[in-house]
Structure 1
Amino acid sequence: MNVVEWSTRVAETELKSVLPRRWAHTQGVARRAAEIKKTVGRDADLLIASATLHDVGYAPRLVVTGFHPLDGARFLRDEHIADERLVRLVANHSFALMEAEERGLQHELATEFPLLEDPLVVDALVYCDMTTTPGGGRTTAQERVAEIVGRYGADSVVGRFIRRAAPEIFSSVERIKAALAAQPR
Protein backbone atom coordinates (compact mmCIF):
# COMPACT_ATOMS: atom_id res chain seq x y z
CA MET A 1 0.00 0.00 0.00
CA ASN A 2 1.41 3.42 -0.94
CA VAL A 3 1.51 6.44 1.38
CA VAL A 4 -1.58 8.06 -0.13
CA GLU A 5 -3.71 4.93 0.34
CA TRP A 6 -2.31 4.44 3.84
CA SER A 7 -2.99 8.05 4.86
CA THR A 8 -6.56 7.80 3.60
CA ARG A 9 -7.18 4.65 5.63
CA VAL A 10 -5.71 6.16 8.77
CA ALA A 11 -7.64 9.45 8.47
CA GLU A 12 -10.88 7.66 7.61
CA THR A 13 -10.51 5.29 10.56
CA GLU A 14 -9.85 8.13 12.99
CA LEU A 15 -12.27 10.78 11.70
CA LYS A 16 -15.13 9.49 9.55
CA SER A 17 -17.52 8.14 12.18
CA VAL A 18 -16.64 10.39 15.13
CA LEU A 19 -16.08 13.71 13.32
CA PRO A 20 -17.93 13.55 9.98
CA ARG A 21 -17.61 17.28 9.27
CA ARG A 22 -13.86 17.18 9.96
CA TRP A 23 -13.70 14.13 7.68
CA ALA A 24 -15.48 16.12 4.93
CA HIS A 25 -12.96 18.95 5.31
CA THR A 26 -10.10 16.44 5.22
CA GLN A 27 -11.39 14.91 2.01
CA GLY A 28 -11.71 18.37 0.44
CA VAL A 29 -8.15 19.29 1.45
CA ALA A 30 -6.88 16.01 -0.01
CA ARG A 31 -8.73 16.70 -3.28
CA ARG A 32 -7.11 20.13 -3.47
CA ALA A 33 -3.71 18.53 -2.92
CA ALA A 34 -4.33 16.05 -5.74
CA GLU A 35 -5.34 18.95 -8.01
CA ILE A 36 -2.14 20.93 -7.37
CA LYS A 37 0.32 18.06 -6.91
CA LYS A 38 2.37 19.06 -9.96
CA THR A 39 3.49 22.21 -8.13
CA VAL A 40 5.58 20.10 -5.75
CA GLY A 41 7.02 17.64 -8.28
CA ARG A 42 8.44 14.52 -6.66
CA ASP A 43 6.78 15.42 -3.34
CA ALA A 44 3.26 15.00 -4.74
CA ASP A 45 2.45 11.94 -2.64
CA LEU A 46 3.88 13.63 0.45
CA LEU A 47 1.61 16.62 -0.14
CA ILE A 48 -1.49 14.46 -0.62
CA ALA A 49 -0.71 12.31 2.42
CA SER A 50 -0.09 15.34 4.65
CA ALA A 51 -3.28 16.99 3.39
CA THR A 52 -5.18 13.81 4.23
CA LEU A 53 -3.69 13.58 7.72
CA HIS A 54 -3.36 17.25 8.68
CA ASP A 55 -6.37 17.21 11.05
CA VAL A 56 -6.12 13.64 12.38
CA GLY A 57 -5.18 15.05 15.80
CA TYR A 58 -8.77 16.19 16.28
CA ALA A 59 -9.85 12.55 16.69
CA PRO A 60 -11.12 12.27 20.27
CA ARG A 61 -9.04 9.20 21.09
CA LEU A 62 -5.86 11.03 20.07
CA VAL A 63 -6.38 14.20 22.10
CA VAL A 64 -3.65 14.62 24.71
CA THR A 65 -2.66 18.30 24.64
CA GLY A 66 -5.79 19.57 22.90
CA PHE A 67 -3.61 21.02 20.15
CA HIS A 68 -4.43 18.93 17.08
CA PRO A 69 -1.19 19.45 15.07
CA LEU A 70 0.92 18.22 17.99
CA ASP A 71 -1.44 15.40 18.98
CA GLY A 72 -1.74 14.24 15.36
CA ALA A 73 2.00 14.34 14.72
CA ARG A 74 2.74 12.39 17.89
CA PHE A 75 0.15 9.79 16.94
CA LEU A 76 1.64 9.38 13.46
CA ARG A 77 5.19 9.21 14.81
CA ASP A 78 4.50 6.94 17.77
CA GLU A 79 1.73 4.62 16.57
CA HIS A 80 2.53 4.45 12.88
CA ILE A 81 6.25 5.25 12.70
CA ALA A 82 5.32 7.53 9.80
CA ASP A 83 7.80 9.26 7.53
CA GLU A 84 9.52 12.14 9.35
CA ARG A 85 8.76 14.72 6.66
CA LEU A 86 5.09 13.75 6.70
CA VAL A 87 4.92 13.99 10.48
CA ARG A 88 6.65 17.39 10.44
CA LEU A 89 4.19 18.70 7.84
CA VAL A 90 1.22 17.58 9.92
CA ALA A 91 2.77 19.12 13.05
CA ASN A 92 3.41 22.46 11.38
CA HIS A 93 0.52 22.79 8.95
CA SER A 94 -0.99 26.23 8.41
CA PHE A 95 1.44 28.08 10.69
CA ALA A 96 0.76 25.88 13.70
CA LEU A 97 3.86 27.22 15.43
CA MET A 98 2.05 30.54 15.90
CA GLU A 99 -0.89 28.78 17.50
CA ALA A 100 1.48 26.71 19.63
CA GLU A 101 2.88 29.97 20.97
CA GLU A 102 -0.64 31.07 21.98
CA ARG A 103 -1.08 27.75 23.78
CA GLY A 104 2.30 27.68 25.52
CA LEU A 105 3.37 24.69 23.39
CA GLN A 106 5.82 26.41 21.04
CA HIS A 107 8.92 24.81 22.57
CA GLU A 108 7.41 21.31 22.47
CA LEU A 109 6.30 21.64 18.85
CA ALA A 110 9.53 23.23 17.62
CA THR A 111 11.72 20.75 19.48
CA GLU A 112 9.86 17.57 18.55
CA PHE A 113 8.89 18.58 15.02
CA PRO A 114 11.15 21.23 13.47
CA LEU A 115 9.79 23.10 10.48
CA LEU A 116 10.32 21.43 7.13
CA GLU A 117 12.98 23.09 5.02
CA ASP A 118 10.98 22.84 1.78
CA PRO A 119 8.84 26.00 1.68
CA LEU A 120 7.02 24.95 -1.50
CA VAL A 121 5.47 21.86 0.10
CA VAL A 122 4.66 23.84 3.24
CA ASP A 123 2.97 26.56 1.14
CA ALA A 124 1.08 23.95 -0.86
CA LEU A 125 -0.36 22.38 2.30
CA VAL A 126 -1.37 25.83 3.60
CA TYR A 127 -3.04 26.53 0.25
CA CYS A 128 -5.00 23.28 0.35
CA ASP A 129 -6.14 23.70 3.96
CA MET A 130 -6.93 27.40 3.78
CA THR A 131 -8.91 27.26 0.52
CA THR A 132 -11.20 24.46 1.71
CA THR A 133 -14.33 24.98 3.80
CA PRO A 134 -15.18 22.92 6.88
CA GLY A 135 -17.59 20.96 4.65
CA GLY A 136 -14.94 20.24 2.01
CA GLY A 137 -15.91 22.86 -0.56
CA ARG A 138 -13.80 25.54 -2.18
CA THR A 139 -13.31 28.98 -0.69
CA THR A 140 -10.82 31.82 -0.67
CA ALA A 141 -8.21 32.14 2.04
CA GLN A 142 -9.79 35.42 3.13
CA GLU A 143 -13.21 33.78 3.52
CA ARG A 144 -11.66 30.83 5.35
CA VAL A 145 -9.86 33.05 7.86
CA ALA A 146 -13.09 35.00 8.44
CA GLU A 147 -15.01 31.74 8.90
CA ILE A 148 -12.47 30.48 11.47
CA VAL A 149 -12.60 33.76 13.42
CA GLY A 150 -16.40 33.63 13.32
CA ARG A 151 -16.55 30.02 14.47
CA TYR A 152 -14.07 30.31 17.33
CA GLY A 153 -14.44 34.00 18.26
CA ALA A 154 -11.90 36.77 17.77
CA ASP A 155 -10.64 36.60 21.37
CA SER A 156 -10.22 32.82 21.52
CA VAL A 157 -6.83 31.15 21.20
CA VAL A 158 -7.67 30.10 17.64
CA GLY A 159 -9.13 33.51 16.79
CA ARG A 160 -6.01 35.34 18.00
CA PHE A 161 -3.72 32.90 16.23
CA ILE A 162 -5.52 32.96 12.88
CA ARG A 163 -5.63 36.75 12.81
CA ARG A 164 -1.88 36.87 13.51
CA ALA A 165 -1.18 34.18 10.91
CA ALA A 166 -3.47 35.64 8.22
CA PRO A 167 -0.75 37.65 6.38
CA GLU A 168 1.47 34.56 6.22
CA ILE A 169 -1.45 32.38 5.11
CA PHE A 170 -2.37 34.83 2.35
CA SER A 171 1.26 34.98 1.20
CA SER A 172 1.51 31.19 1.02
CA VAL A 173 -1.71 30.99 -0.98
CA GLU A 174 -0.50 33.68 -3.39
CA ARG A 175 2.82 31.86 -3.93
CA ILE A 176 0.97 28.66 -4.85
CA LYS A 177 -1.41 30.56 -7.12
CA ALA A 178 1.64 32.02 -8.89
CA ALA A 179 3.23 28.57 -9.19
CA LEU A 180 -0.01 27.19 -10.64
CA ALA A 181 -0.27 30.06 -13.13
CA ALA A 182 3.31 29.44 -14.27
CA GLN A 183 2.72 25.77 -15.03
CA PRO A 184 2.36 24.77 -18.66
CA ARG A 185 -1.18 23.86 -19.53
Structure 2
Amino acid sequence: MTAPSLLRVPGELLESFGPLQPAVLPGRAGPLTAAARLLAESLLGDMGNRWLHTQGVAERAAGLAGPLGVDADLLTAAAWLHDIGYAPPLVVTGFHPLDGADHLTRNGWPVRVAGLVAYHSGARFVAAARGLSEMLAVYPDERTVLADALTYADQTVGPSGDRVDPDARYAEVLHRHGPCSWNARVDPERGPHLRAVARRVEHLLARAA
Protein backbone atom coordinates (compact mmCIF):
# COMPACT_ATOMS: atom_id res chain seq x y z
CA MET A 1 0.00 0.00 0.00
CA THR A 2 3.02 2.27 0.36
CA ALA A 3 3.22 4.87 -2.38
CA PRO A 4 6.54 6.72 -2.59
CA SER A 5 4.85 9.74 -4.20
CA LEU A 6 2.88 10.25 -1.00
CA LEU A 7 5.90 10.51 1.27
CA ARG A 8 6.69 14.15 0.51
CA VAL A 9 4.53 17.27 0.66
CA PRO A 10 4.20 18.96 -2.75
CA GLY A 11 5.79 22.39 -2.84
CA GLU A 12 2.55 24.00 -3.93
CA LEU A 13 0.82 22.56 -0.85
CA LEU A 14 3.43 24.08 1.44
CA GLU A 15 2.94 27.42 -0.29
CA SER A 16 -0.81 27.16 0.24
CA PHE A 17 -0.21 26.42 3.91
CA GLY A 18 1.57 29.75 4.21
CA PRO A 19 3.44 30.97 7.32
CA LEU A 20 3.52 28.99 10.54
CA GLN A 21 1.05 31.29 12.26
CA PRO A 22 -2.26 29.49 11.66
CA ALA A 23 -5.29 31.03 10.04
CA VAL A 24 -8.24 30.10 12.23
CA LEU A 25 -10.55 28.04 10.09
CA PRO A 26 -13.19 26.69 12.48
CA GLY A 27 -14.68 23.43 11.31
CA ARG A 28 -12.84 23.31 7.95
CA ALA A 29 -9.95 21.16 6.90
CA GLY A 30 -7.98 21.67 3.71
CA PRO A 31 -5.02 20.60 1.55
CA LEU A 32 -2.67 19.80 4.43
CA THR A 33 -5.24 17.40 5.84
CA ALA A 34 -5.73 15.74 2.47
CA ALA A 35 -2.00 15.10 2.10
CA ALA A 36 -1.73 13.91 5.71
CA ARG A 37 -4.53 11.42 5.27
CA LEU A 38 -2.89 9.96 2.16
CA LEU A 39 0.46 9.63 3.92
CA ALA A 40 -1.09 8.09 7.02
CA GLU A 41 -3.01 5.55 4.97
CA SER A 42 0.07 4.62 2.95
CA LEU A 43 1.97 3.89 6.17
CA LEU A 44 -0.70 2.63 8.57
CA GLY A 45 -3.52 1.40 6.35
CA ASP A 46 -2.51 -2.25 6.74
CA MET A 47 -1.93 -2.02 10.51
CA GLY A 48 -5.39 -2.98 11.77
CA ASN A 49 -6.29 -1.23 15.00
CA ARG A 50 -3.54 1.35 14.54
CA TRP A 51 -5.32 2.55 11.39
CA LEU A 52 -8.75 2.38 13.05
CA HIS A 53 -7.43 4.47 15.95
CA THR A 54 -5.86 6.97 13.57
CA GLN A 55 -9.10 7.41 11.65
CA GLY A 56 -11.00 7.91 14.91
CA VAL A 57 -8.52 10.50 16.19
CA ALA A 58 -8.70 12.43 12.92
CA GLU A 59 -12.49 12.45 13.04
CA ARG A 60 -12.44 13.56 16.67
CA ALA A 61 -9.93 16.33 15.94
CA ALA A 62 -12.00 17.62 13.03
CA GLY A 63 -14.99 17.90 15.34
CA LEU A 64 -13.02 19.77 18.00
CA ALA A 65 -11.56 22.45 15.72
CA GLY A 66 -14.72 24.53 15.34
CA PRO A 67 -15.80 24.64 19.01
CA LEU A 68 -12.23 25.39 20.11
CA GLY A 69 -11.65 28.01 17.40
CA VAL A 70 -8.40 26.53 16.10
CA ASP A 71 -7.00 25.87 12.63
CA ALA A 72 -8.91 22.80 11.45
CA ASP A 73 -6.50 21.98 8.64
CA LEU A 74 -3.45 21.98 10.91
CA LEU A 75 -5.15 20.11 13.75
CA THR A 76 -6.71 17.42 11.56
CA ALA A 77 -3.50 16.94 9.58
CA ALA A 78 -1.55 16.42 12.82
CA ALA A 79 -4.20 13.96 13.98
CA TRP A 80 -3.83 11.86 10.82
CA LEU A 81 -0.05 11.87 11.28
CA HIS A 82 0.30 11.52 15.06
CA ASP A 83 1.03 7.77 15.02
CA ILE A 84 2.91 7.30 11.74
CA GLY A 85 6.07 6.61 13.75
CA TYR A 86 4.66 3.14 14.46
CA ALA A 87 4.98 2.19 10.77
CA PRO A 88 7.83 -0.34 10.48
CA PRO A 89 9.70 1.54 7.71
CA LEU A 90 9.89 4.62 9.94
CA VAL A 91 11.12 3.00 13.16
CA VAL A 92 14.57 4.28 14.14
CA THR A 93 14.55 5.03 17.86
CA GLY A 94 11.45 2.98 18.63
CA PHE A 95 9.80 6.08 20.12
CA HIS A 96 6.94 6.74 17.74
CA PRO A 97 6.42 10.51 18.31
CA LEU A 98 10.09 11.17 17.50
CA ASP A 99 10.32 8.72 14.61
CA GLY A 100 7.16 10.19 13.09
CA ALA A 101 8.37 13.77 13.48
CA ASP A 102 11.76 12.92 12.00
CA HIS A 103 10.12 11.34 8.96
CA LEU A 104 7.96 14.40 8.41
CA THR A 105 10.97 16.70 8.66
CA ARG A 106 12.99 14.65 6.20
CA ASN A 107 10.12 14.81 3.73
CA GLY A 108 9.39 18.51 3.72
CA TRP A 109 6.45 18.85 6.09
CA PRO A 110 6.07 22.10 8.05
CA VAL A 111 8.04 22.10 11.29
CA ARG A 112 4.92 22.97 13.23
CA VAL A 113 3.21 19.75 12.08
CA ALA A 114 6.31 17.77 13.06
CA GLY A 115 6.31 19.47 16.47
CA LEU A 116 2.70 18.60 17.15
CA VAL A 117 3.43 14.97 16.29
CA ALA A 118 6.62 14.97 18.38
CA TYR A 119 4.96 16.20 21.56
CA HIS A 120 1.44 14.74 21.40
CA SER A 121 -0.05 13.13 24.49
CA GLY A 122 2.73 14.01 26.90
CA ALA A 123 5.52 12.51 24.81
CA ARG A 124 8.08 14.74 26.50
CA PHE A 125 7.77 12.75 29.74
CA VAL A 126 8.50 9.45 28.01
CA ALA A 127 11.32 11.05 26.02
CA ALA A 128 12.95 12.23 29.24
CA ALA A 129 12.78 8.77 30.78
CA ARG A 130 14.24 7.20 27.64
CA GLY A 131 17.07 9.71 27.31
CA LEU A 132 15.60 11.20 24.13
CA SER A 133 14.81 14.72 25.33
CA GLU A 134 17.68 16.29 23.42
CA MET A 135 16.53 14.71 20.16
CA LEU A 136 12.93 15.75 20.79
CA ALA A 137 14.01 19.32 21.62
CA VAL A 138 14.78 20.10 17.97
CA TYR A 139 11.00 20.39 17.51
CA PRO A 140 8.78 23.22 18.79
CA ASP A 141 6.69 22.33 21.85
CA GLU A 142 3.98 24.93 21.41
CA ARG A 143 1.69 24.11 24.38
CA THR A 144 -1.32 25.81 22.81
CA VAL A 145 -5.04 25.09 22.68
CA LEU A 146 -4.42 23.39 19.34
CA ALA A 147 -1.78 21.12 20.86
CA ASP A 148 -4.16 20.33 23.73
CA ALA A 149 -6.86 19.49 21.18
CA LEU A 150 -4.60 16.97 19.45
CA THR A 151 -3.79 15.29 22.75
CA TYR A 152 -7.45 15.31 23.78
CA ALA A 153 -8.46 13.72 20.47
CA ASP A 154 -5.85 10.99 20.97
CA GLN A 155 -6.92 10.45 24.57
CA THR A 156 -10.63 10.12 23.76
CA VAL A 157 -10.35 7.45 21.04
CA GLY A 158 -9.61 3.84 21.85
CA PRO A 159 -7.43 1.34 19.94
CA SER A 160 -10.25 0.30 17.60
CA GLY A 161 -11.38 3.85 16.87
CA ASP A 162 -14.23 3.97 19.38
CA ARG A 163 -14.92 7.12 21.41
CA VAL A 164 -13.90 6.68 25.06
CA ASP A 165 -13.57 8.66 28.28
CA PRO A 166 -10.05 10.08 28.84
CA ASP A 167 -9.61 8.21 32.13
CA ALA A 168 -10.69 4.93 30.53
CA ARG A 169 -8.34 5.51 27.61
CA TYR A 170 -5.38 6.20 29.88
CA ALA A 171 -6.11 3.17 32.04
CA GLU A 172 -6.33 0.98 28.94
CA VAL A 173 -2.96 2.23 27.69
CA LEU A 174 -1.28 1.50 31.01
CA HIS A 175 -2.84 -1.97 31.12
CA ARG A 176 -1.95 -2.78 27.50
CA HIS A 177 1.67 -1.69 27.83
CA GLY A 178 2.15 -3.25 31.25
CA PRO A 179 3.58 -2.21 34.63
CA CYS A 180 7.18 -2.20 33.41
CA SER A 181 6.55 -0.04 30.34
CA TRP A 182 7.86 3.45 29.79
CA ASN A 183 4.28 4.71 30.07
CA ALA A 184 3.99 3.18 33.51
CA ARG A 185 7.35 4.57 34.62
CA VAL A 186 6.35 8.15 33.80
CA ASP A 187 2.78 7.85 35.06
CA PRO A 188 3.40 10.13 38.11
CA GLU A 189 4.22 13.01 35.74
CA ARG A 190 2.35 12.14 32.56
CA GLY A 191 -0.93 11.12 34.19
CA PRO A 192 -1.55 14.52 35.84
CA HIS A 193 -0.48 16.27 32.64
CA LEU A 194 -3.04 14.39 30.54
CA ARG A 195 -5.79 14.96 33.09
CA ALA A 196 -4.98 18.69 33.07
CA VAL A 197 -5.20 18.77 29.27
CA ALA A 198 -8.59 17.05 29.40
CA ARG A 199 -9.86 19.56 31.97
CA ARG A 200 -8.70 22.52 29.89
CA VAL A 201 -10.28 21.25 26.68
CA GLU A 202 -13.52 20.23 28.35
CA HIS A 203 -13.78 23.64 30.01
CA LEU A 204 -13.42 25.34 26.63
CA LEU A 205 -15.92 22.98 25.03
CA ALA A 206 -18.44 23.70 27.80
CA ARG A 207 -18.01 27.45 27.26
CA ALA A 208 -18.53 27.04 23.53
CA ALA A 209 -21.68 24.93 23.89
Shorter chain as denominator, the TM-score bin is: over 0.9
Matched, 1:67 2:95: yes
Which of 37, 52, 59 aligns to 1:8? It is 37
* RMSD of Structure 2 on Structure 1 (CA): 1.3
1:78-129, Cα deviation, whole Å (9 max, x unpaired): 02x111111100011011110101111011101x11311x510111011100
**Aligned match of 2:48:** 20
**Aligned match of 1:32:** 60
Q: Secondary structure at the match of 1:38?
A: helix
Matched, 1:183 2:208: yes
Structure 1 segments, 4+ long, off by >3 Å, are: none
Q: Secondary structure at the match of 2:140?
A: coil
**Aligned match of 1:166:** 191
Aligned residues between the structures:
180
1:6-40, Cα deviation, whole Å (9 max, x unpaired): 000000000011x1210100000001001111144
**Aligned match of 1:91:** 118
Structure 2: 5+ residue stretches without partners: 1-12, 14-30
Q: Is the 8 A contact 2:68 2:208 kept in 1?
A: no
- Distance in 2 of aligned mates of 1:7 and 1:161: 30
Does the C-alpha gap of structure 1 residues 4 and 164 become closer, same or farther in structure 2, counting only changes over 3 Å? Answer: same
Which of 168, 171, 181 aligns to 1:146? It is 171
Structure 1: 5+ residue stretches without partners: none
- Distance in 1 of aligned mates of 2:66 and 2:154: 17
- Distance in 1 of aligned mates of 2:68 and 2:106: 27
Pairing of 1:64-143 with structure 2 (within 5 A): 64-79=92-107, 81-110=108-137, 112-116=138-142, 118-143=143-168
Q: Is the 8 A contact 1:132 1:139 kept in 2?
A: yes
Percent identity, aligned pairs only? 42
Q: Secondary structure at the match of 2:199?
A: helix
Normalised to the residue count of structure 1, the TM-score between the two structures is 0.93
> More deviation in 29-38 or 157-166?
157-166
Letter paired with 1:3: L
**CA-CA distance at 1:61 after TM superposition:** 0.4
**CA-CA distance at 1:155 after TM superposition:** 2.1
- Distance in 2 of aligned mates of 1:32 and 1:42: 14
- Distance in 2 of aligned mates of 1:90 and 1:40: 19
- Distance in 2 of aligned mates of 1:92 and 1:135: 22
**CA-CA distance at 1:158 after TM superposition:** 2.2
Higher radius of gyration, 1 or 2: 2
Richer in helix (by share): 1
**Aligned match of 2:85:** 57
